[in-house]
Amino acid sequence: MIRFRKIKSFTLVELVIALLVSGIVISLAGSTYLLIKKTIVTSSLDYEFDNRVMDLAMVLKHDFDRASVISNQDNFLSLQFPSRKIINYQFGDSFVTRQVGEVVDSFLIKPAVVQMETLSRDNELVSKLYLLIQLKDIDYPIHLQKDYSLDLLFQLDHNLR
């Protein structure tokens, strides 16, 4: 008599269930991967923008503090230094440029508000600068103030008369 030995194996129903469960797990892993990738790309773009704003703020503050005379000339901010060097800033619709001689640096950020406060109506000397840069729902304010020496103010007033 021939004996059949029973082979231990999975049934067709068990294999189908295993395939369904593994398909669900793989689709969840794929969608999670895509969501994380999108979040990383978005945060890296925000980080890059933050760095551009911080670079502009640091350079502008550095120049603002070291300049002896700051004047407003037709949407240009002109900074004059004791060494007779002149740095010009232009605030455009979607950029800010910094020009030192022939060298031009461009900051690709859109200033929402640019306000310059002068010492008097007749004078073009800028005493305060307020720059507001907006991205999405975040405001990046830059507020700088220049304190002029009394000697310089007296000399400028004497030259105007």
**Is 7 within a domain?**
no
**Is 5 within a domain?**
no
Q: Which residue has the tokens 């005493």?
A: 127
Give the number of domains in the chain.
1
Containing domain of residue 98, as a range?
Answer: 12-160
Answer whether 81's CB lies under 8 Å from 66's CB. yes
Residue 39: its pLDDT value, please?
86
**Is 4 within a domain?**
no
pLDDT surpassing 60 at residue 43: yes
pLDDT for 69-111, tens place per residue?
888 877 788 898 988 899 999 988 888 999 998 999 998 888 8
pLDDT grade, residue 60 (50/70/90)?
very high
**Is 18 within a domain?**
yes
**Is 1 within a domain?**
no
pLDDT grade, residue 32 (50/70/90)?
very high
Residue 145: which H helix or E strand, with range? strand 138-145
Residue 118: its pLDDT value, please?
81
Which residues, 6 or more positions from 142, have their beta carbon under 8 angstroms from its beta carbon?
56, 57, 60, 61, 129, 130, 131, 132, 133
- Residue 140 CB: number of other CB atoms within 10 A? 19
Average pLDDT over residues 23-50: 88
In three-state secondary structure terms, 76 is strand
pTM over 0.85: no
pLDDT surpassing 70 at residue 121: no
**Is 57 within a domain?**
yes
**Is 56 within a domain?**
yes
pLDDT for 141-155, tens place per residue?
889 888 877 776 676
pLDDT grade, residue 156 (50/70/90)?
low
Give the full edge-to-edge strand order of the sheet including 76-80.
69-73, 76-80, 86-91, 96-100, 103-107
Answer whether 80's CB lies under 8 Å from 86's CB. yes
- State how far the Cα of 81 lies from the Cα of 69, in Å rounded to an integer: 7
Residue 24: its pLDDT value, please?
96
**Is 135 within a domain?**
yes
Percent of the chain with pLDDT over 90: 27
Most confidently modeled range among 4-8, 23-27, 138-142: 23-27
Answer whether 78's CB lies under 8 Å from 86's CB. yes
